[in-house]
Amino acid sequence: MVGVEVSSASCCDMPGHAGDNILVTGALGQIGTDLVSALRKTHGTETVIATDIYDRGNTDGPFMILDILEIAEINRLIRENSIGTIYNLAAILSAHGEKDPDLCERVNLGGLQNILDASKENRCRVFSPSSIAVFGPDSRPIAYQDSPTSPTTVYGKTKKKGEEMMLKYWRNEGVDTRGIRYPGLLSWKTIPTGGTTDYAVEVFHHIENSGEYTYFVEEDTKLPMMMMEDAIRATKLLMEAPQSKLSEYRTGYNVRGLSFTAKQLSDQIKRYRPQSKFTFTPDERQLIANSWPEDLEDSAAVSDWNWNSSFDLDRMVKTMLDGFSQSSSSDSSKIG
């Protein structure tokens, strides 16, 4: 994990914020799992309150049930735990959002509205992820920071609206709001669900267990992705940047990790697992993938807060294969 040390003065320079503790919503999800452990390493375990809508039972620090649709609960948790910074990760992702648009809008917009209102009330800072899903077919093949945002999915529309809501609370209410347009995120610690980029994680799990995988997209599907370690580092760099460094892109920075086709990914995996077998059977998620950019430009994040990615395709594949084989051997040792 790449740590980023900053002076406390440059971190929370919003006057009179409620407290020094951190609240993470959606903490049991793909990003939350890694972000909570990274924040606890930097700030101390007891400083980071992990929350989610259900309890998985195995957390190594403070955990509470929280439904972000309940604003009274959010306010109570902020006040009782001296929260000064909120990472709002609770969201319904793209594929799930197309199947249940009402839930997607309620959680991604209604939930964010509650978080923003509670943050205004209690003077908290807010990080809430955006996504490359804010882009549509008119921003292909490469989406620049100020390319048009014409999302075709419900999820993408909630992320675009979310960026606008966050910017409004910064400009009109002085709430320190920040966000990153995450690409598809790759981690071996949590299998994502409900996303269109899930294939780039599922493939490692299946190759480790059965040696074969059927993609739900075509082999020439190319999408922007990022290793979770880089996504967490980008999040910390953004949240620890002085306000003076942030531009109008503060609630929706493009950040580039790496970009590859499903076939390039498969060929790279075969270099380490030569017996792997891959097939391609597109489903409805192909339409979503076809609407997203193949790659990104991220000069704003580079110039505003020194973003730089650290994984190429080979290093990503090696890291994911090692991670999955470690986790499956530790599982089998647990079973044994």
Residues that bind ligand VAH in the complex, under the rule CB under 6 A: 93-94, 131-133, 155, 183-184, 192, 195-197
Provide, rounded to whole angstroms, the least separation between the CB of residue 335 and ligand VAH: 30
Distances (CA, A) of 217 to 48, 154, 209, 223, 293: 38, 20, 21, 11, 15
- Verify whether residue 169 is a known catalytic residue: no
**Active site residue: 54, 87, 144, 155, which one?**
155
Taking phi over 0 as left and psi of -120 to 50 as alpha, with beta for the rest, 136 belongs to: beta
Write the CB contacts of 200 (distance below 8 Å, at least 6 apart in sequence): 184, 186, 223, 225, 262, 265
Nearer of residues 91 and 118 to ligand VAH, judged by Cβ: 91
Q: 202: Cβ–Cβ under 8 A, 6 or more apart, which residues?
A: 191, 213
Alpha helices in 17-69 (DSSP H): 30-43
25 or 276: CB nearest ligand VAH: 25
Q: Which of residues 111 and 195 has its CB atom nearest to ligand VAH in the complex?
A: 195
Closest separation between CB of residue 127 and ligand VAH, Å?
15
**Could you tell me where the DSSP H helices lie in 183-261?**
199-209, 228-239
Judged on CB neighbours under 10 Å (0-12, 13-18, 19+), 199 is buried
DSSP category for residue 252: S
24's tokens: 């993470």
| Cα–Cα distance measured from residue 14 to residue 193, given in angstroms and rounded to the nearest whole number | 35
Minimum Å distance from CB 12 to ligand VAH?
Answer: 28
User: CB nearest ligand VAH: which residue?
Assistant: 195
Tell me how far, at minimum, the Cβ of 31 lies from ligand VAH, in Å.
9
Least separation in angstroms between CB 162 and ligand VAH? 12
- Residue nearer to ligand VAH on the CB measure, 48 or 107: 107
Residue with Cβ nearer ligand VAH (19 or 162): 162
Q: Which residues are catalytic?
A: 155
